[in-house]
């Protein structure tokens, strides 16, 4: 389903980028601009983001001439209005910081993804292809009912159109809005997770705050518990633990033991989405360089991020069942 292809973290990353774009556009020496910049900042970091989105929607409508709204600026209003309708505090937002359940049960409503897709199709047809005036709205209405697999193909078509517009076709404002809608409709689920056939075990340093944070991130991204179970390194026999690094170790479904950067890239590939894409790109970096970067972070992680006294992060009961203590 489309709603399963966009996690809370993916939406938070998109919101941060959209907020930065809004911040740049409100950067004018006026009271409306100052209020818009403040709202855009709150929106970007995810603090009271739905209220900030509602305020930004009003401010954008006040600052934009009616003729520009009809030409394409309505897309910004649509994106902000749909954000007001989203469930609050997706993972990665400031409002979700410190929440006992990392993911918070957050999920993207399917109708919002379909509406964004329809808006992309309507606007893309309107600005790029030769058409009568009604072609854009018709394309949008058709996009509301087409099968979800059409989203990927339509996205690639409009990506090609946006690239072509970078070479002088179309107006600057239209190019920005088309790229904005492409980003809003990009689905991390197009990069599926690496299948393993069974749960794998992620061992971590139970005294490291950074390790606890990474475990919470994996819990949020693997909300269904299909990829990993967790255990502090202390559960391993001393003879085995001495031969392993004191940060992250992955025991794969086929019995391999992965350490350092290989372990982290494997975790990312198993999570899928943006993580899978980043992991596949990371594999082009020579392993000695990857391990060096990993070791540099591991060496200072406790001084920078602090330590924990409990081996298991504070979690609700249904998530604690995924831990071996």
pLDDT tens, position by position, 24-56: 999 989 999 999 999 999 999 999 999 999 999
> Which residues, 6 or more positions from 250, have their beta carbon under 8 angstroms from its beta carbon?
200, 201, 202, 203, 257, 258, 259, 263, 266, 267
Cβ distance 208 to 308 under 8 Å?
yes
Residues 76-92, mean pLDDT to the nearest whole number: 94
At 283 the three-state DSSP class reads: coil
225 backbone φψ class: left, alpha, beta (φ>0; ψ -120 to 50): left
Specify the pLDDT at position 170: 58
Q: Which of 171, 190, 209 is the last residue of a domain?
A: 190
Q: Which of 190, 225, 259 is the last residue of a domain?
A: 190
Helix H segments across the chain? 8-25, 31-45, 49-63, 66-68, 74-84, 110-128, 135-145, 150-165, 172-185, 209-221, 238-241, 260-271, 274-282, 287-305, 317-320
pLDDT of residue 1 exceeding 50, the answer is no
Q: Determine what percent of the chain is predicted with pLDDT higher than 70.
A: 94
User: Does the residue 231 lie in any domain?
Assistant: yes
Instruction: Specify whether 113 is located in the same domain as 87.
Output: no
User: Does the residue 29 lie in any domain?
Assistant: yes
How far apart CA 195 and CA 252 sit, in angstroms, is 11
Specify the pLDDT at position 127: 79
Band of residue 196 on the pLDDT scale cut at 50, 70, 90: confident
Place of tokens 């983001």: 49
At 302 the three-state DSSP class reads: helix
Mean pLDDT of the chain: 87
Instruction: Specify whether 101 is located in the same domain as 121.
Output: no
Neighbours of 2 (CB within 10 A): 18
Q: Which of 56, 73, 105 is the last residue of a domain?
A: 105
Instruction: Specify whether 116 is located in the same domain as 96.
Output: no
Place of tokens 């025991």: 251
Band of residue 3 on the pLDDT scale cut at 50, 70, 90: very low
User: Does the residue 325 lie in any domain?
Assistant: no
Instruction: Specify whether 205 is located in the same domain as 296.
Output: yes
pLDDT of residue 79 exceeding 90, the answer is yes
Domain extent, residue 154, equals: 109-190
pLDDT of residue 4 exceeding 50, the answer is no
Instruction: Specify whether 101 is located in the same domain as 114.
Output: no
Residues 7-30, mean pLDDT to the nearest whole number: 93
Residues 313-321, mean pLDDT to the nearest whole number: 79
Q: Of 64-73, 199-208, 256-265, which range is least confident? A: 64-73
Instruction: Specify whether 176 is located in the same domain as 218.
Output: no
Instruction: Specify whether 276 is located in the same domain as 302.
Output: yes
User: Does the residue 23 lie in any domain?
Assistant: yes
Instruction: Specify whether 100 is located in the same domain as 116.
Output: no
User: Does the residue 71 lie in any domain?
Assistant: yes
Cβ distance 55 to 32 under 8 Å?
no
- Reported pTM: 0.86
How far apart CA 206 and CA 64 sit, in angstroms, is 52
Q: Of 17-21, 195-199, 294-298, which range is least confident? A: 195-199
pLDDT of residue 202 exceeding 80, the answer is yes
User: Does the residue 1 lie in any domain?
Assistant: yes
User: Does the residue 282 lie in any domain?
Assistant: yes
Structure tokens at 1: 């389903």
Band of residue 265 on the pLDDT scale cut at 50, 70, 90: very high
Instruction: Specify whether 145 is located in the same domain as 82.
Output: no
User: Does the residue 195 lie in any domain?
Assistant: no
Number of domains, the chain: 3
Instruction: Specify whether 142 is located in the same domain as 225.
Output: no
How far apart CA 96 and CA 213 sit, in angstroms, is 13
Q: Across the strands, what pairs with 232?
A: 204
Q: Determine what percent of the chain is predicted with pLDDT higher than 90.
A: 43
Instruction: Specify whether 165 is located in the same domain as 264.
Output: no
pLDDT of residue 173 exceeding 70, the answer is no
Specify the pLDDT at position 291: 92
Chain segment 86-139, per-residue pLDDT in tens: 999 999 999 998 888 888 889 888 889 889 999 998 888 887 776 667 777 788
Band of residue 300 on the pLDDT scale cut at 50, 70, 90: very high
DSSP for 23-78 reads: HHHT-SSSHHHHHHHHHHHHHHHTSSHHHHHHHHHHHHHHHS-HHHIIIIIHHHHH
Q: What are phi and psi of 192, to 5 degrees?
A: -65, 155
Band of residue 16 on the pLDDT scale cut at 50, 70, 90: very high
Specify the pLDDT at position 131: 62
Cβ distance 258 to 252 under 8 Å?
yes
User: The sheet that has 257-259: what strands, in order across it?
Assistant: 228-232, 200-204, 248-251, 257-259
Band of residue 2 on the pLDDT scale cut at 50, 70, 90: very low
Please provide the size of the chain in residues. Answer: 325
Neighbours of 226 (CB within 10 A): 12
Instruction: Specify whether 43 is located in the same domain as 120.
Output: no
């Amino acid at each position: 389903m489309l709603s399963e292809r966009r996690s809370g973290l993916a939406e938070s990353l998109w919101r941060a980028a959209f907020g930065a774009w809004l911040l740049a556009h409100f950067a004018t020496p006026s009271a409306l601009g100052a209020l818009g910049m403040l709202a855009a900042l709150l929106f970007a970091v995810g603090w009271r983001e739905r209220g900030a989105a509602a305020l930004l929607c009003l401010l954008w409508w006040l600052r934009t001439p009616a003729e520009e709204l009809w030409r394409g600026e309505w897309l910004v209003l649509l994106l902000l209005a749909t954000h007001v309708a989203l469930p609050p505090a997706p993972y990665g937002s400031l409002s979700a910081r410190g929440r006992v359940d990392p993911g918070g049960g957050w999920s993207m409503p399917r109708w919002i993804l379909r509406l964004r897709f329809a808006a992309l199709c309507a606007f893309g047809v309107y600005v790029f292809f030769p058409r009568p005036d009604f072609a854009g709205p018709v394309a949008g209405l058709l996009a509301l009912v087409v099968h979800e697999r059409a989203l990927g193909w339509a996205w690639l078509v409009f990506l090609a159109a946006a690239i072509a517009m970078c070479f002088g076709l179309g107006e600057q404002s239209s190019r920005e809005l088309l790229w904005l809608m492409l980003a809003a409709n990009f689905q991390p689920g197009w990069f599926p997770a690496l299948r393993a056939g069974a749960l794998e075990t992620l061992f971590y340093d139970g005294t490291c705050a950074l390790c606890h944070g990474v475990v919470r991130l994996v819990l949020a991204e693997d909300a269904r518990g299909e990829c990993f179970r967790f255990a502090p390194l202390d559960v391993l026999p001393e003879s085995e633990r001495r031969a392993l690094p004191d940060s992250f170790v992955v025991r794969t479904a086929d019995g391999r033991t992965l350490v350092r950067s290989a372990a982290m890239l494997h975790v990312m590939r198993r999570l899928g989405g943006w993580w899978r894409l980043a992991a596949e790109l990371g594999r082009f970096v020579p392993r000695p360089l990857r391990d060096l970067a990993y070791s540099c972070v591991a060496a200072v992680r406790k001084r920078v991020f602090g330590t924990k006294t409990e081996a298991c992060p504070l979690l609700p009961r249904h998530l604690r069942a995924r831990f071996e203590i």
